[in-house]
Every structure is written in structure tokens, then in C-alpha cells.
Amino acid sequence: MARANGFTDGHRVHLLQGAEELFPALIEAMDGARSEIQFETYIFDCTGSGATVAEALIRAAARGVCTRLVVDGVGTGALQPAWIARLRAAGVQYCVYSPLGPLGLLLPHQWRRLHRKLCVVDRRLLFCGGINVLDDFHDPNHGPLDAPRLDFAVQASGSLVALASDAMEQLWWRMQILRSARRHHLPQALQALRAVGARHAVAAAGTSMRLALVLRDNVRHRSRIEQAYRRAIGAAQREIIIASAYFLPGGKLRQALVMAARRGVRVRLLLQGRYEYFMQYHATRPVYGALLDAGVEIHEYAPSFLHAKVAVIDALGERPWATVGSSNLDPLSLLLAREANVVVQDVAFARELRERLVHAMQHAGRRMDPARYAGRPLRQRVLDRIAFGLMRLALWVAGRRYF
């Protein structure tokens, strides 16, 4: 079995942009499922096109497909009772990851969330990326959107699928163990424990595309995703393009970007230009200065919310590197959440992703002018520093070193 952080050959992978491209592919795969669907997501919202995904899960479970759905206790919140009833009546095994207790997010251990977005169908197809089950034109906090949210996912086949399936299976049974233990169903907990790891990965034939599944958790894989980024940035020769919805990299990652720019690599960042959350919006700005001084280009996406978590390096060279996943480059993703990224070494894929990101920067991005950044209003600078300080305080409370 290939290691989860190592590249394996023999894959096919397709880039999908937004729910408009992901949901039809996802629904087609689920409607063709014969034995099993494993689904994990941070947000599961049945408004608009999100309902079509829920309906596909219901159809699959109703015809006897083993269908498991895991949602995050913060991201999804309280799903409408009518939808929960329909899912369970059809036979969908529905579970909430780390539901909030009476103290909510006041307890630091509750900051560890399930943020990855994964779906495996029949251990044959994998969907991985940053796209939640959420309509492109709907935001739970801000209502209707004038333009679609910018986000990406991939559909992949090959030996990587089994690795993702095993990781999802392991999380599922750990959740069942904890639930059984809390209810004092110890025999059932022991039975679930024996089920963990019962499956093994199998290789699938395909093309010569090389992929790796990079997971982040709070046990064995605490820094895998950040390490993958730093290695790729350190090896960059011509160009780095990163799109990150929430961007607050730690000191080592910031230094890697600065060093790349200073050695002549063109570094372009596509970041959030619309106000979404106080902390994520304002805490990001204090790190702009050092990056701009080093020659890093910062483009802010404004037509809608940027939700992408992707990067492409040296796409026009002989050894391109690209990643699509759920991990932002901020402390919540890199230190606390469960995340999943697919890394791709393929010329055609890297160039397609680059083309889409360059188009977004040129047609929907506003380049940050260093003079404009330095001259931003006093009120904004104060808010930026407050947010940055609060983020550092929160990490100190959580016992994490980052900056």
C-alpha cells in the first residue's frame, strides 16, 4: 500500500470549479454507486443546489447502498429536522463530528474541527477539494450572492481512492467507538475498534499522472500539508500562484515565500477581498507588508467570496506541482483542523489550474499597491492589529506556537 504522503502513479484526475461543476459529477457518481458512499464535509446546507446532493444520498441509501455522511458540528450547525428525518428514513448513516456542548467554542479543544471535504464512491472515485455542500450563490451568513463563490475540487480515480477511503473509514469507526463508549456500550465499542483498519488499499490502472493524498490531523500528521507547501515553494524556479480564502501563514511559510520572491520567482497570491469574518479579514492584513516589500504580488478577489485553497508552481516548466484541497494557509487549518489536499504532478492539470487562477486575477482581482497598503486608514490598521493580536492570544491559549 502506498503511503498517504507519497506519490503514486496510474491516476486520472479532473479539475472542477465551484458547485456548478462539482455537484453534477458528484451526483452522477452517487447515482451509479453499487455498494458504498463515504461522505465528509464541513458545511452541509440543503438550500438551492445543495438539496440535489442530499437527494442523491437519499436515493443511494434507499436502493441499498451503504451511505455514510459525516458533517462538522460547527460548520453545519443544526440541519433542518425534516432533512435529518428524510436522510435517516432512507437509511443514510448520519453523524456529527464533535458537536458543540453548552460552552460552545469557549473550550479550546472544540476548535479542532472536521474541515476536509471528501467523498468516495465504491472505492473507485474520489472527490476532494474545498467545496462544501453549499449553493454557489448562497451564503448561510450573508444570504444571496451576486456572483458565484470561487472554489475548486478534483475528481480522481486510481490507487489514491483507497487511501482516502481508509482514512474516512478510520475516522468513522473512531467516532462510533467514542459514541458507544459514552453510552457505556463497551462491547459495541470493542467491536468497532476491531473494524478499524480492516481494509487495505488496492491499486487501479490509469494514466501516468502522479498524485498524493496529504492529510492533516492532530495525531500523526500534524504538519504534513504545511511541509508539502514549503518543500514545493523552496523548489520553485519560475512561478508560484496560491489562492487561499483565509491567509495567515506562520513564520516559516512566510519566509519561504519571501525567499522565493527574492531569488527571482514570480510569486502571486489571490486572497479574499470581501469582508466575511472579522478575524479572518483583519488578521491577514498585517502580514502583507513583508510580502509586498519582497516583491510578492497580492491580488484580492472581490466579485464574490473567495473560498479556494489551491496552488500551482512552475506550471509552465518541466516539473509542475499543484494542489487542490480543503486547507487554508492559516492557523485554524494548519494547526487545528482535519484537512485533506490532493497534490498533482501533471503538466496538463497544472496548466489548466494556472489558467483559471490567472483569469481570476486578471478579470476579478484587484492588485494591492504597496503605497495604498502603507497608506490605509488608521481605523483599519488598528482593527488589523487587534485581530492579529487576538489570533496570537487564541493560539497561546490553545498551546500552539505558530508565528
**Buried b vs exposed e over 379-403: b needs ≥16 C-beta within 10 Å?**
eebebbeebbeebeebbeeeebebe
Of the residues 11, 45, 72, 117, only one is catalytic, namely: 117
**Phi, psi at residue 121, to the nearest 5°?**
-115, 115
Of the residues 45, 72, 115, 135, only one is catalytic, namely: 115
Of the residues 166, 282, 307, 330, only one is catalytic, namely: 307
Of the residues 314, 330, 346, 384, only one is catalytic, namely: 314
Is there a catalytic annotation at residue 369? no
Q: Which three cell numbers stand for residue 71?
A: 458533517
pLDDT of residue 109: 85
8 Å CB contact between 323 and 343: yes
* Region for 354 from its dihedrals, namely left if φ exceeds 0, alpha if ψ lies in -120 to 50, beta otherwise: alpha
8 Å CB contact between 352 and 317: no
Q: Which three cell numbers stand for residue 81?
A: 429536522
8 Å CB contact between 96 and 81: no
Of the residues 9, 14, 31, 122, only one is catalytic, namely: 122
8 Å CB contact between 297 and 266: yes
Is there a catalytic annotation at residue 293? no
pLDDT of residue 399: 81
Of the residues 309, 330, 346, 384, only one is catalytic, namely: 309
User: Measured between alpha carbons, how far is 338 from 114 in angstroms, rounded to an integer?
Assistant: 5
SS3 call for 170: helix
DSSP assignment letter at 326: S
Is there a catalytic annotation at residue 138? no
User: Measured between alpha carbons, how far is 38 from 120 in angstroms, rounded to an integer?
Assistant: 5
Is there a catalytic annotation at residue 122? yes
Q: What is the pLDDT along the chain (403 residues), one digit of tens a residue?
A: 344 446 767 789 999 999 999 999 999 999 999 999 999 999 999 999 999 999 999 999 999 999 999 999 999 978 889 999 999 999 999 999 999 888 888 888 899 999 999 999 999 999 999 999 999 999 998 999 999 999 999 999 999 999 999 999 999 999 988 776 666 555 655 555 554 444 333 333 334 588 999 999 988 888 999 999 999 999 999 999 999 999 999 999 999 999 999 999 999 999 999 999 999 999 999 999 999 999 999 999 999 999 999 999 999 999 999 999 999 999 999 999 999 999 999 999 999 999 999 999 999 999 999 999 999 999 999 999 999 999 999 988 888 888 7
pTM for the structure as a whole? 0.91
pLDDT of residue 250: 94
| Structural domains of the chain, with CATH | 13-134+158-195 (3.30.870.10), 209-397 (3.30.870.10)
User: Measured between alpha carbons, how far is 270 from 242 in angstroms, rounded to an integer?
Assistant: 6
